[in-house]
Structure 1
Amino acid sequence: MDLSNKQYHLAQIATFTSTGDMVGLKKAIDEALDNELTVNEVQAAIVQLYAYTGFPRSLNALTALSERVKERQAQGLKTAQGKSATPLAEDTDLLMLGTKTQTALVGQQVDLSGLSPDIDRYLKTHLFGDIFANDLLNWQEREIITIAALSAMQGVGNQLEAHIHIGKKNGLTDEQIKEIIQLPKQEMSQFPMGDDNTAYAKYFVGKSYLNMLSTDQIPIGNVTFEPGTRNNWHIHHASKGGGQILLVTAGRGYYQEWGKPAQELKAGDVVHIPAEVKHWHGAAPTEWFQHLSIEVPGENTRNEFLEPVADADYNQLK
């Protein structure tokens, strides 16, 4: 594992907080406290997350932390409160401090006043001037928390890409970022992920999961792709009818036919794939992806898997 012990547990806590999975969060809190993290460090991570996941998720997570701490204390389990953050001086100019922190963190001055002067001020004074001034966590750890949370959320691809860039600027490696975004997630949609897709693993780059929802009348499988995972180029053969329909249920991915540009996919998209068309589909490089795969009835149907999608071509995708 490329993440340190502390980094891994902070990423876990961020993931479960962002998805609202309180059962998973309490387990992650236990693991963190059992492995030398303090209550104050966990609390600092959850407080930061309100700026990225909203007050309801953060407040629920803080409640879960409070409940679990009381339960652990009653059970005589290790529950170190830890040191408190260094207080800011009363005359601290939070706007000036936050602007300086944000500029150093990102690597350039950021001005969002064109979107809203208020949001620009809130980010500078409160998020970067106040929350980031809490010295229980360093900037790299705070980017790990942010990346983990965003990678578990849908519709925040641009923000995730931005924070991956910021994380790298602050010392995170590609291997560490991959570990963060591939942490197990709560179910992405109403369709369970199922088990490892071992039967077809040799036809995939990366890891996927398969849950056959129907094997009667029309085969329907729920396929889940970890970030960066895609299947090989393949063809659905049929002498009559046949082909495949993809119903995208969660995440962000791609579909591409041979000789055509890749098509970005998101929840709600439908892809009709005729028989005899060479194609591939899979996840975006930094996001999970899920679709229902529906086999269209036909005569003499069979699937032919071909070569993997070239890394050079895939890496050009956003």
Structure 2
Amino acid sequence: MATETVAAPRSAQTQTTHRQGAAKMALSNKQYSLAQIGAFTANGDTGRLKDAIDRALDQGLTVNEIQAAMVQLYAYAGFPRSLNALSALSERVQARRAQGLKAEQGRSARPLPEHADLLALGTQTQTELVGQAVDLSALSPDIDRYLKTHLFGDVFANDLLNWQEREIITIAALSSMQGVDGQLNSHINVSKKHGISDEQIAEITRISKPEMSQFPAGGENTAYARYFAGKSYLNMLSTDQVVVGNVTFEPGTRNNWHIHHAAKGGGQMLLVTAGCGYYQEWGKPAQELKAGDIVHIPAGVKHWHGAAPTEWFQHLAIEVPGENTRSEWLEPVSDADYGKLK
């Protein structure tokens, strides 16, 4: 709908390149691979992560560079996701080497100076990266110290990846997680300070959306966001003759109760193309929807539709022609009612 032990930020090598099934993109192949690794590690999509690992190694990323990305991700997605990703990497590297395929180990990171002051180093790195001093001790002195000494003083000291690449990884990961919009927006602002463009950011945030059907998901559905609980994406497939929009719902996302009004004709049809979701009319039980289902919604019927709590969902929304048509948006579907669904 950065210090002596941290590589200074290097310019993004933003080549425009063709990727399979995609139009021209803003990220370099390396950046795109790192973004995929960030997204699929964070959302636990091991199948797509293994494919991304293979593409990354084919394109010349080293095992050590990929490891560095996955280690960084523990700070954002947690140890379980990071460890699962590292296990997937180990599995793919062993399999590729057994088949004689490319899996270059690459150089090791430059070691920290002996007896390095990680708190001082991390504080300097964090300040330079963000553009100002950051103090989270009011939330917790421990978390402030952990971030400075470990994430910025230790993990970011690994010079196999530059700051732009680390921000790309972080944005991709946060884009794949729910409830972290504040942190995501903060990292988007930081990335812009270090040369990441709006076009690159848009490409990064699209990666987390699964390829659900032959219909592209489109951009975030900001125009109607106030009528949705959760995040959705909209791609208008047709605005001539019959209006058709491809609507993609993140897990748990649903639109408000609403009514399609018309003096004559009107209403809407939903053609489900992928995922699992629900449709409900006022006063009736919700019905589960899966790919291939068709819903006919007459004009004047109060209803809602959206994704299942843990599933992505996609449908084509087709406006039935009519006279004096309009949509009336009503109250949100309550969490209590939605929580009763399977």
TM class by shorter chain equals 0.5 to 0.7
**CA distance in structure 1 between the partners assigned to 2:192 and 2:30 by the alignment:** 18
Residue equivalent to 1:25? 49
Residue equivalent to 1:163? 187
Is 1:7 matched with 2:31?
yes
3-state DSSP of counterpart to 1:133: coil
Is 1:113 matched with 2:98?
no
Aligned pair count reads: 240
Amino acid at match of 1:96: A
Partner of residue 96 from structure 2, selected from 52, 62, 72: 72
**CA distance in structure 1 between the partners assigned to 2:55 and 2:251 by the alignment:** 34
Is 1:36 matched with 2:60?
yes
Aligned partners of 1:21 and 1:186 also within 8 Å: no
Equivalence map 1:120-269=2 (5 Å): 120-186=144-210, 193-196=212-215, 208=217, 226-227=219-220, 230=223, 248=229, 250-251=230-231, 267=252
**CA distance in structure 2 between the partners assigned to 1:303 and 1:104 by the alignment:** 57
Aligned partners of 2:259 and 2:300 also within 8 Å: no
Aligned partners of 2:220 and 2:231 also within 8 Å: no
Is 1:47 matched with 2:71?
yes
Aligned partners of 1:247 and 1:268 also within 8 Å: yes
Q: Structure 1 residues 302 and 26, CA, compared in 2 at 3 Å: closer, same or farther?
A: closer
Residue-by-residue CA offset, 1:231-257 (whole Å, 9 max, x unaligned)? 7xxxxxxxxxxxxxx885x53689xxx
Aligned partners of 1:19 and 1:186 also within 8 Å: no
3-state DSSP of counterpart to 1:37: coil
Q: Structure 1 residues 34 and 297, CA, compared in 2 at 3 Å: closer, same or farther?
A: same
Amino acid at match of 1:271: N
3-state DSSP of counterpart to 1:84: coil
Deviation at residue 26 of structure 1 after TM alignment: 0.8
Deviation at residue 185 of structure 1 after TM alignment: 2.7
Runs of 4+ more than 6 Å apart: none
Residue equivalent to 1:63? 87
State the identity as a percent: 59
Normalising by structure 2, what TM-score? Answer: 0.63
Aligned partners of 1:154 and 1:251 also within 8 Å: no
Deviation at residue 184 of structure 1 after TM alignment: 4.9
Residue-by-residue CA offset, 1:42-75 (whole Å, 9 max, x unaligned)? 0000000000000000000000101111111111
**CA distance in structure 1 between the partners assigned to 2:80 and 2:167 by the alignment:** 21
**CA distance in structure 2 between the partners assigned to 1:302 and 1:80 by the alignment:** 56
3-state DSSP of counterpart to 2:256: strand
**CA distance in structure 2 between the partners assigned to 1:27 and 1:296 by the alignment:** 40
Residue-by-residue CA offset, 1:121-170 (whole Å, 9 max, x unaligned)? 00000000000000000000000000001111111111110000000011
